[in-house]
Structure 1
């Protein structure tokens, strides 16, 4: 009986393992299929960037270029004034990253480690501003910046960053809450001010969260279309997203140059994320209250 029971148990576990393998294989195939489906627009973008305009306009469309035109990238860069637009975009993104890191970490430090009357109320009030759509404040902001004579400059796109962003303040504040108060007290005993503690202790310890803020801000500034469209009226000050519109005409759109330019504009953000993805994931996990 014991031999039969052992054999029965063996067949049961073997059958169970087989079912698990089949289930994992099916799940893997489904995930691969979904991934390929999601990558189709990217492949169409790459294929279009390597075609001639005549081939793009042919029907039915082809997924693989008949002839590869690498010169589309060179021509898109030169015709689209990409050097100037890239420098403008880097300037906006650089100022945005610095301002958001300084402002958001400074405000978050106050909410996380400094006790003052009304702290929780002000923090809740700040979070409530996240419920207001940005489009609601678009016209009042434009009127205000117009009265400041800032329209036509980079100031409306850079100065607001020095006043903080609610979500990023919340993110970094959650990270600061996980840092022991004993470190703050030790710094105070050594005569350190709040400014010194914030700059020399909190920011270095919050490196993963700071990287998250930097990536989010850089991506937002790099891909910003609406802001420059509203406030910038000189072609020499356009960023990449506005500059790409030069390939769209009233009668025809140069799709091969537009797709090539879009791919080149997309690569820095993708490279930045993959380079810092370890810090990004770590910062998001700790800020959300999960570790490991």
Structure 2
């Protein structure tokens, strides 16, 4: 029996873990920003003050893992590295990757398993959503979420001169609202955010010089009024954080929409009333801190149908799945 099995898979995980650690540390040292063109370890050491010997070893390790390219004694970024890991790129994701690693770390998991801390999730208590809003700005463009969103709304609202009103519920960065306002210049867009995040949202909007076109509404979307007479409401990744009855929550959204207007829902659902296998690893630390499992697709569909929000079609929003609904009376 022993000859039929090996521990190779565990050692493979160890190497993958080391490869991930290498990437994170290389991002922290900002080495990719010096590799948009071929550069030697000596040249990088002269520009940064780093130890030449150790930067050479770091570069060799990055090359061995496929993170960078090498020719003779010169190193340079892969196409992906130039696009996403060099600070010269508008789609730089280094800060985003490091934040998400810290946000979802499983480092102290054993302590949580051993001890029931009686954690109960409350909005803002588990993750730093304010920082998350900031670091996701380039991510939303780099992963195609913005393009998917704009393509979808252009199919629905074909007249770019129309006077529309749009709400991004729990919109964090405000990117969807800003992009909507750019493509429909006669329209007004709103972002509804928790007070712990709203200041960051306002700052991002101001940095993009969109404060005259996009407004931030502050409150708890579970309990507070979200406004009215919207042509489009977007809700991306918020169903995990609804504390109200799901039926009542969807009715609130429906009431806030004009007749024959649209609701764009992006999120993840479970097939059973449990934690979804596909997402449990990346959300494990949050679940152990008290975040409830997402609602089932059956529960979501029932609540939507009960609120006269009828499915139009499914969509792909970057790496995420969603669906467009229409309010019918």
TM-score above 0.5, yes or no: no
TM class by shorter chain equals under 0.3
Structure 1 or 2, whichever has the larger Rg, is: 1
- Larger relative contact order (C-alpha < 8 A, sep ≥ 6)? 1
More helix per residue: 1
TM-score computed with the length of structure 1 as normaliser: 0.26
